Structure 1
């Protein structure tokens, strides 16, 4: 088995010598002449709720006085084999006397190893592989915080620890630490950063007398992300992003029981989120969403003062159409048609017809003249072909032509899709989380996104921006790609400090209901079923396998 121990422990290590002749080597002997240290059962007097679960390989350990913990941040850790640690408990570092195996007892409190020893000379002490934070092993607190703050799950941590044969905290301890210390820390830092972002937005939208600082009303992007595809989603996250800085300013979590169906979670999240933002005082000028009929009607009736744009990217990402055996992307078709909306130039141009007569007037395409060589190499469509009819039906679609009037600002939610990909790190779709867990994990993803959205370009010593050559998988051509500096995760260090400080607060009691995050939540049923559960025997009687 393995044990995680700090690189530079600030607490006493009782044994580190090979024989009596080396009794003065290692740590100063004065560290081992103090009174006995914390035992397995010793708790912080101010935290009666903390009752660590222990496993022992020897006799029951007697209660001893607890030594005051040093007020310091987390130290580095290394993995050490249990045999290597126990081999150090052979001789006393104080007097050099031998320590019999019967006088050495080891105990585990989660990931912390405690060894109680007594030498033949009468010296005794308790060695801990990790310091305590108000009676709780620091390594237990740090293990739970590290796995959550990096987007992991306890299942992954537990399986990795079992494969490594590494002693680790249990699921009960993890969830208790998460409720009492981790979720409140995440919410506190998220609200702090969100308030700072809102302050900058309010400063921009406030009217200024100076012409050098004109008023800038916020323009938002909105899009939803469900926890599973299809019509069986349980949760829906609707996020609002600032169009200028691409920072997430607000997010709403909707459970399917709050809406009539999983499809209606998106408009409900949009409505609730926009109501919150407007209630804060944001004077939203423009908001861009997908072409959802429910959101379109909501904006037209309830918020006519806000300009509603449609996401050009959602419109253009439909299936490819094929002309003459070559795929044509709808985005190019849409952009080309937008440039000549209301005239037949596009559908005629693809057939190599660049002039036409309308109402007695002759018109021509606005592009440059096509050379004979270009005309010969281009694969033109025939006006009576199936490919041309498919293309014409696409660009002349009535709904598309109607919606073009709400795409004039060319706003898109591509960066929101990037954020949704980042959400998969913190909220994988293959695993279920509670409502509170989904909410706080989304806040972690937002803090990660907002910290790194302003990508910092790498430069050479002369100041030139760096690039790299990349082969495009689709076209097979070589292209240039920008090189950015590595991502930063400063928010995790701040979260670790807040967790440490929260554990040191005597008013925060471990496993106490008052220590959990007190956030207003919608009135949710215990499960998403609409009818009470029938008796188990009744379900077994009518169960029928599909095979």
Structure 2
């Protein structure tokens, strides 16, 4: 159509000079007042933390560690780690947490508790370096592992009866944590262990502080027979020493579901199937955080008669005709876009060359020797020779 358009090199130049610095400046203006208010109030924060890789598989290039203030539900820490800055991609999550906690403590933020998954490196690092911070585990991450083991067990011979109990057992794990106080790790473990007796129709005489089930008299159910293969295998899973140790550290009042929602939001701005530069990845995640913080507390939409709107969904994790009711929220807002545009105009009008304050680390290929033309021709010739013979 013979339309005049800027070249791709011009676009990337504009991106480096105007767009990226504007994103960084707006993020700083967004987080600084909130962190300053926390420090001035003297409030100790409870954080939810988790890592996210930029690509599926075990060879990710970037790892992002996000920290959410559980009192407000807002993202207050976002740290991007490139794999060549640590020994391997497996260590990116721990490095992101280190940067996040260090940045908050340097600003004078008191961290009371952090809720994470059961990452072994994070467990050890917090235990050795920050014993003043209470480390709790998210119930969903633990329940997911338990459910996976129970589903695999229910497929074994003579264990198909267990399938009906999987949902009840995982729900019991949530109840054991939610019905206890923060410092009652022994009670949480005792409640959790009682489920191995409950599914065998034994409701009294449990080990530990929780000795009797609290439910009313139950009708006849498909109880597991004591001593059967299914009952014995379930006891091995439920009474596992490592699992019980982690159950004692379950968070009783917080879950990282908000953080999982934020990571799903990042996928809209930085899909895992696309590759970005370090600064491009960082800025896309910042924009995702701005969007998430603006819309995290949306209200439920209402009908004309004032009743709340709901929609019926059929989640993949629910088999058969099981469905759920989800509230329909009001439309999302995008006021942060206006702030980004205004910041871009300010940078353009300043006529000053602008770069991001956050430097990009060397590329993964940095330090690699580029092969000579002769070496490349030798490789091609050797490959052609193999094909011919």
> Which bracket does the TM-score occupy, shorter chain normalised?
0.7 to 0.9
C-alpha change, 1:539 and 1:219, in structure 2 (3 Å) is farther
Which has the bigger relative contact order, CA under 8 A and spacing at least 6?
2
The corresponding residue for 2:296 is 453
Output the CA distance in 2 between the equivalents of 1:335 and 1:468: 25
Tell me, in whole angstroms, the C-alpha distance in 1 between the residues paired with 2:111 and 2:39.
11
What residue number does 1:254 align with?
81
Q: What is the alpha-carbon distance in structure 2 between the residues aligned to residue 389 and residue 177 of structure 1? A: 65
Matched, 1:481 2:326: yes
**Cα gap change, 1:241 to 1:542, in 2 (>3 Å):** farther
Counting strand residues as a fraction of each chain, which structure ranks higher?
Answer: 1
How far off is 1:484 after superposition?
1.4
The one-character-per-residue Cα deviations of 1:291-316 (angstroms, maximum 9, x if unpaired) are 11111111111111111111211111
Any idea what SS the aligned residue of 1:440 has?
Answer: helix
Residue-pair matches, total: 355
Q: 2:222 matched to which residue of 1?
A: 379
Per-residue deviation, 1:539: 4.1
- Give 1:411 shift: 2.6
2:189 is matched with which residue? 341
Q: 2: CA distance between counterparts of 1:533 and 1:397?
A: 52
User: Which whole-Å CA distance do the structure 2 matches of 1:414 and 1:402 have between them?
Assistant: 23
Against the structure 1 CA distance between its residues 411 and 190, is the aligned structure 2 distance closer, same or farther, given a 3 Å change threshold?
same
- Is the CA contact (8 Å cut-off) linking 1:218 and 1:284 kept in structure 2? yes
* Shift >6 Å, 4+ stretches: none
Change (3 A) 1:196 1:349: same
CA 1:478/1:302 → structure 2, altered by over 3 Å: closer, same or farther? Answer: closer
Write the mapping of 1:44-193 to structure 2, written as runs, cut at 5 A: 109-110=4-5, 169-193=6-30
Measure how far apart 1:325 and its partner are: 5.7
| Structure with greater proportional helix content | 2
Going from structure 1 to structure 2, the CA distance change for 1:309 and 1:471 (only over 3 Å counts) comes to closer
Contact 1:336/1:346 (8 A) holds in 2:
no
Pick from 337, 343, 348 the counterpart of residue 503 of structure 1. 348
Alpha-carbon distance, 1:177 to partner: 1.4
In structure 1, list runs of 5 or more residues that go unmatched.
Answer: 2-54, 56-107, 111-168, 207-215, 509-514
Measure, in 2, the Cα distance between the counterparts of 1:455 and 1:469: 16
Deviation (angstroms), 1:364: 4.4
What's the CA shift string for 1:74-123, capped at 9, x where partnerless?
Answer: xxxxxxxxxxxxxxxxxxxxxxxxxxxxxxxxxx542xxxxxxxxxxxxx
Q: Find the aligned partners of 1:395 and 1:260 in 2 and give their Cα distance.
A: 35
Residue 400 of structure 1 is matched in structure 2 by 243
Is the 1:471–1:477 contact (alpha carbons within 8 Å) kept by the matching residues of 2?
no
Q: Tell me the residue number matched to 2:214.
A: 366
Cα distance in 2, alignment partners of residues 307 and 357 from structure 1: 29
Q: Which has the larger radius of gyration?
A: 1
Alpha-carbon distance in 2 for matches of 1:521, 1:257? 15
State the shift of 1:461 in Å: 5.6
For structure 2, the residue ranges without an aligned partner over 5 or more in a row are 155-159, 178-186
The answer to whether the Cα contact below 8 Å between 1:257 and 1:528 also exists between their aligned partners in 2 is no
RMSD over aligned CA atoms reads 2.7
- Alpha-carbon distance in structure 1 between the residues aligned to 2:203 and 2:261: 40
- For 2:133 and 2:32, locate their aligned partners in 1 and report how far apart those are by CA, in whole Å: 23
- State the SS of the aligned residue for 1:241: strand
The separation in 1 between residues aligned to 2:273 and 2:206, in whole angstroms, is: 59
Tell me how far apart the structure 1 counterparts of residues 127 and 206 of structure 2 sit (CA, whole Å).
Answer: 39
Q: Alignment partner for residue 492 of structure 1, among 327, 334, 337?
A: 337
Q: CA deviation at 1:172?
A: 1.5
Distance (Å, rounded) in 2 between the aligned partners of 1:458 and 1:358: 48
